[in-house]
Structure 1
Amino acid sequence: MRTKLACATLMLALGSGPVFAQSGEITIWSWNIAASSLKATVAGFNKQFPDVKVTVEDLGNQQTFDKTLAGCAAGGAGLPDILSIENHESEIFWSQFPDCFVDLTTLGYTDEIAAKFPDFKRTELEVDGKRYAMPWDSGPVAMFYRRDYYEKAGIDPVTIKTWDDFIAAGKKIQEANPGVTMTQADINGDAEFFRMIANEQGCGYYSSDSQSITINQPGCVTALEKVKALKDAGELIAGTWDEKIQANKAGTVATQMYGGWYEGTIRSTSPDLAGKWGVYLMPSATADGPRAANLGGSSLAITSASENKEAAWAYLNYTLGTNEGQVTMLKEFGLVPSLLSALDDPYVKAEQPYWGGQKVWVDILSTLPKVKPSRGTPFFQDADKIMVAVQLKHLNGEYADAKAALDDAANQIAGATGLPIAE
């Protein structure tokens, strides 16, 4: 009887996870600021689990993706315990290598924990009842603007509610500040601006069930129309990631639209401009239209090859599932929490000196519950490459209108993926 009881107790302990997460080593692959953010949480984690050694390896974004694909293709060989995976690329992994990752429900990722995150962050991480990854950071879109340039032109950002308002304001701002451009986007190599506005308008490359192509639906048409209107008005110029940072530092741009994580980029790369930057909500197509979208954001997954899954789960649950873990990354590196309870954290509610005393995190994070889910699907990269080329052709006047451009994109995506175009 005692033997049976001991066995039962052991099985219960194994199922509970953290009981056996008190020791050992875990390794994580990540990139850049994301990797630095994970390192910042280790001290707090080790207060609870002092005998777990956590090693974060910064491989760079592309190498993390490539090595994860190669490792999964090799049956898990060489993979770490935990992987950083971008949400919009995640379904590439779940569809091709579902056995490469642990279903986190087996380690303690309950419905109660999952409910702490907004639906749009979980959409791509949960497939057929399995939870392959836990939401990490998100990218609620915001307009980062130069207060001094707007003030010199007599523009109050509160009055900018539509994209037409934004264009009208841009004309005045550029006139009042010679040499300054209203905004930038990597229109030669990315569809970021289009995707942000499309998500705001409830449209994406694919349908919510990932079974059809929706890139030529009305919301996406509106998005491409707005991008071209900005370009034609001379208020949107091309800029790569590095070129935007240089423009910020040189003071040659008035506004940058990006995911909330860009707060940390501006603050860390332009420290001498403290007090000159502010934040406001992204404009919409109409005065009473939606003003929330998401760009970017990642998740953490545990590999099936991990030899210390319980410790890995304990780390995920602390880093991503607690205000302490998430807000540590926000404070240090501006990674925006997906955890909804972080909205109540004192730091989030506080005035931020760099941003002129504005409570920027209240403004940015308050949009999280309003963001509409958008599926990346296993075919995100196919669609995105096509969209970048089509967008550039449209901006150069090679299509009759935005609808014609997106009809062409839809047909090309159908040819590349075999998926039907939604009616």
Structure 2
Amino acid sequence: MKKIFVMMTIIAALVISGCSSSSSGGKDGEVTLTAWAWNVNVGALNDAVKEYQKDHPNVKLKVEDIGRLDVYDKLSTGLAAGGVGLPDIVLVEDDRIQGYVQAFPQGFLDLSEKGFDDHKDKFPSFKNDLAQVDGKYFAMPFDAGPGGMFYRRSLFEEAGVKAEDIETWDDFLEAGKKIKEKTGSYAMPLDMFKDDPTFRMMLNQQGVFYYDEKGNIDLTSPEAVKAMEMQKKFADADLIKNVDGWNGVVSSTVDGSVAAIPFGAWYYGTIIDQAKGTKGDWGVFKLPAFEEGGNRASNLGGSSWMIPAASENTDAAYDFIEYFSTDKDTQIMAMEDYGLFPSLNTTYDSEVFTGEDEFFGGQKIWELFAEEMKDVPTAYYTKDYSVALDEAIKAQADTFNGKDPAKALEEAAKRLEDRTKRKAN
């Protein structure tokens, strides 16, 4: 009898221990979740939890507003230490998800085990691909960056250029020449020697990226060469304004020294915030294709939510983030208030997507962005994305300095291969 009592005590202790490891709380079952995020994502989380608390008054959320790169520094340090000091929820950009899960395979909660697979049809295929590793969800899709060409209507009109006539990159090249001649404004801005967002969008729309689906280096593909050659055409025609980082892009947007800016949908928020005096002078058209009838859908940026496996509140964290990621009204609120374009496709039939935007001359810009989401190819980042990005930027710089694009990409691919081999060893 004594042995049975001891055994029952041990079992009870294990059950209690198991429950507390996944959902710890305070008095009256209260749970306080912590989250790491940055910029406008902080406000979106805080607004969402207010709605969530109407049905879950026991759940509180403490959002720590940490700089984007600081989040990754702290996250990497915590994962390396076995989860010490990590939050219950963390925002991670899509290009980093694969690398984190591969580097720390036990570091994040397997969301498929919690049932997130049931939501697969609510997101475009490329967001599903980026949120999964080996067929299992480790992230919940959040915002996306469907690509477009933001343009100044007055500059196009002054040059006699119609946005609807631009279908290909060659069309835009000729339009850029007219605009430069008539107005003095460049076709587009780019930090030519430090970043390659336009090149990435060009790759993505063609269905390729730095790596292929199997993780092989793909910088020398015909599509990559075509993209780099196209950028060189614009540079040779003096149609690219070389700017200094993000601030340079924004200032050229505001002062009208560029006629168009190829970026993700999230740039809308920057335009309406930084260029308030230009209301009504803006429009958007899809990224030009490389040939008539070619794909014009692309994506730049976007992020998802992950739950560190070390969290003591995994059940509560999952329930809240599942709500945040899949609730239509919450996602629309995040877009309207913070400019965060939703990946959740059930939002696209709402009034905000079919309505006209006064700042953009009455254009239905959100409808345009929503239409392309289903056609965005998947970009395969891999764990070595940051190294590949560095080498792609070097290839771009070499091209702008006069090197043949194919040769510049070939040399970049070789350097990338050497660097990743050394890193692996």
Where 1:104 maps in the other structure, the secondary structure is coil
| Structure 2 partner of 1:354 | 359
- State how far apart, in whole Å, the 1-side matches of 2:235 and 2:386 are: 25
After superposing the two structures, state which structure 1 stretch, 71-80 or 350-359, moved more.
350-359
Equivalent runs, 1:325-340 vs 2, <5 Å: 325-340=330-345
CA–CA distance in structure 2, aligned partners of residues 129 and 201 of structure 1: 24
CA drift of 1:65 comes to: 0.9
Please tell me the residue identity of whatever aligns with 1:70. T
**Deviations along 1:219-238, whole A, 9 cap, x unmatched?**
11111111111111111122
Structure 1 gaps, min length 5: 1-6
State the match for 2:148 in structure 1.
142
Q: Tell me which structure has the larger Cα radius of gyration.
A: 2
The offset of 1:106, in angstroms, is: 2.4
Alignment of 1:10-409 (within 5 A): 23-109=30-116, 111-178=117-184, 180-210=185-215, 212-239=216-243, 240-397=245-402, 399=403, 401-409=404-412
Q: What corresponds to 1:4 in structure 2?
A: none
Moved over 6 A (4+): none
Shift of 1:271: 1.8
Distance of 1:71 and 1:305 partners within structure 2: 10
| Kept after mapping to 1: 8 A contact 2:123/2:141 | yes
Counterpart in the other structure of 1:3: none
Instruction: State the 1:124 CA deviation.
Output: 2.6
Q: CA deviation at 1:108?
A: 2.8
Give me the CA root mean square deviation: 2.1
**1:212-263: per-residue Cα shift (whole Å, max 9, x none)?**
1111101111111111111111111222211111122222221010011111
- Give the deviation of 1:25 after TM superposition: 0.9
In 2, Cα distance between equivalents of 1:311 and 1:349: 35
Secondary structure, counterpart of 1:29 in structure 2: strand
In the TM superposition, residue 127 of structure 1 has moved relative to its aligned partner by 1.3
Give CA deviations for 1:161-213 in whole Å, capped at 9, x if unaligned: 111110111111122223x2221112221121111101111111111122x11
Deviation of 1:30 after TM superposition, in Å, equals 1.0
Question: Per-residue deviation at 1:377?
Answer: 0.2
> CA separation in 2, counterparts of 1:350 and 1:38?
25
Identity %: 36
CA contact (8 A) 2:37 2:65 kept: yes
The answer on whether the counterparts of 2:266 and 2:341 sit within 8 Å (CA) in structure 1 is yes
Change (3 A) 1:271 1:50: farther
| Structure 1 match to 2:417 | 414
CA distance, structure 2, for counterparts of residue 159 and residue 347 of structure 1: 27
Which amino acid in structure 2 is aligned with residue 329 of structure 1?
A
Matched residue type, 2:290: A
Query: Does the CA-based 8 Å contact 1:23-1:311 persist in structure 2?
Result: no
| C-alpha contact (below 8 Å) 1:124/1:377 kept by paired residues | no
Q: How many residues are matched?
A: 402
Distance in 1 (alpha carbons) for counterparts of 2:250 and 2:386:
25
CA offset digits 1:241-298 (Å, max 9, x no partner): 1111112222222101001111111112222211111111110111111101111111
Question: What TM-score does the superposition give when structure 1 sets the normalisation length?
Answer: 0.91
Unaligned runs of 5+ in 2: 1-11
1: CA distance between counterparts of 2:64 and 2:270? 21
Shift in Å, 1:386: 1.1
How far does residue 354 in structure 1 lie from its aligned partner after superposition? Answer: 1.4
| Equivalent residues of 2:145, 2:299 under 8 A apart | yes
* Contact 2:169 2:289 (C-alpha < 8 Å) held by counterparts: yes
Preserved CA contact (<8 Å) 1:30 1:84: yes
Greater displacement, 30-39 / 222-231: 30-39
Please state how far the C-alpha of 1:44 moved relative to its aligned partner: 2.0
Name the aligned partner's letter for residue 236 of structure 1: I
Q: Distance in 2 between matches of 1:416 and 1:200?
A: 27
Shift of 1:50: 2.4
Q: Distance in 2 between matches of 1:367 and 1:218?
A: 24
* Residue number in structure 1 paired with 2:3: none
**Matched-pair contact (CA < 8 Å) for 2:189–2:252:** no
Distance apart, 1:41 and its partner CA: 2.1
Question: Is the CA contact (8 Å cut-off) linking 2:241 and 2:258 kept in structure 1?
Answer: no
Measured after TM superposition, the shift of residue 407 of structure 1 is 1.1
Counterpart contact for 1:95–1:378, Cα < 8 Å: yes
Distance 1:332 1:312, change over 3 A: same
Shift of 1:45: 2.0
Aligned residue for 1:337, secondary structure, equals coil
> 1:136 touches 1:300 (CA, 8 Å); kept in 2?
yes
SS in 1 for 2:219: coil
1:201–1:223 contact (8 Å) kept in structure 2: no
C-alpha distance in structure 2 between counterparts of 1:250 and 1:370, whole Å: 33
Return the alpha-carbon distance in structure 1 between the equivalents of residues 149 and 396 of structure 2. Answer: 22
Distance 1:46 1:176 in 2: 56
Q: Which amino acid is 1:132 matched to?
A: F
Amino acid at match of 2:220: N
